[in-house]
Amino acid sequence: MTMAQKQCLLRYLGYYTGAIDGVWGEGSKRATIDFQRAYMAQEDVDGIFGAATEKRILEVIATGEEPAVANNATTNTLGWWKYIRYFTRSEFRCPCGKCGGFPVEPDETLVRLADQVRDHFGAPVIVSSGVRCQAHNDELPGTAKNSYHVKGKAMDFCVQGVSGAELLAYVKQLPIHYAYQIKGSDFVHMDVN
């Protein structure tokens, strides 16, 4: 595996935000450490992207396994995730497979409100759409170019066992910007400013 391929995989999982240039600098090393912290044993955290790390990262990507240390990649800059009870950052990932998943970070206010909704209903929440890169957003039918999803400030979700109407009624009294029920479903779109 080349250095560029390694950077690509780290970027796909949201650990690396630098250029895919094959130059193994501080950013690549930092991303490797963050990945290892999340998915490997303590003694394997060395910042060296060797055979064991390569095997593990391919496995994680193939299975979609959740990190043991939730959201650790951004603990330093986005410490608020540790206050979120029910969601992990990866649940808000753009699913296109081309943008790395987080062209923008999910908005803190939005995720905190999602936590509140989850807590209120006491039932599992399914996030069908969180962050979207512009390209992914634009290929979805009937979506506005300036969608709040592109800013990381919107999510579409449903709560198990709760009707869309009931969910919308609750969401509407929260300090949000806008919410609506997604036509013909129990999913609700909510966004914040």
- 89 is a contact residue toward Zn ion (CB under 5 A): no
Q: Are 132 and 150 in contact (CB under 8 A)?
A: yes
- 93 is a contact residue toward Zn ion (CB under 5 A): no
Any idea what the Cα angle at residue 49 is, between residues 19 and 61, rounded to 5°?
A: 75
- 73 is a contact residue toward Zn ion (CB under 5 A): no
- 153 is a contact residue toward Zn ion (CB under 5 A): no
Contacts of 29 (CB under 8 A, 6+ apart): 47
Least distance (Å) between residue 116 CB and Zn ion: 18
Contacts 24+ apart (CB under 8 A), 77-84: 78/105, 78/108, 80/108, 80/112, 81/111, 83/112, 84/111, 84/112, 84/115
Least distance (Å) between residue 71 CB and Zn ion: 19
- 113 is a contact residue toward Zn ion (CB under 5 A): no
- 156 is a contact residue toward Zn ion (CB under 5 A): yes
Q: Is 122 left (phi over 0), alpha (psi -120 to 50) or beta?
A: left
HSE-up (13 A, CA, CB side) for residue 69: 16
CA 120 to chain CA centroid, nearest Å: 22
Least distance (Å) between residue 96 CB and Zn ion: 3
Least distance (Å) between residue 82 CB and Zn ion: 26
- 99 is a contact residue toward Zn ion (CB under 5 A): yes
Q: From residue 9 to residue 48, what is the string marking binding to Zn ion with x (rule CB under 5 A)?
A: ----------------------------------------
- 133 is a contact residue toward Zn ion (CB under 5 A): yes
- The site for Zn ion (CB under 5 A) is made up of 94, 96, 99, 133, 136, 154, 156, 189
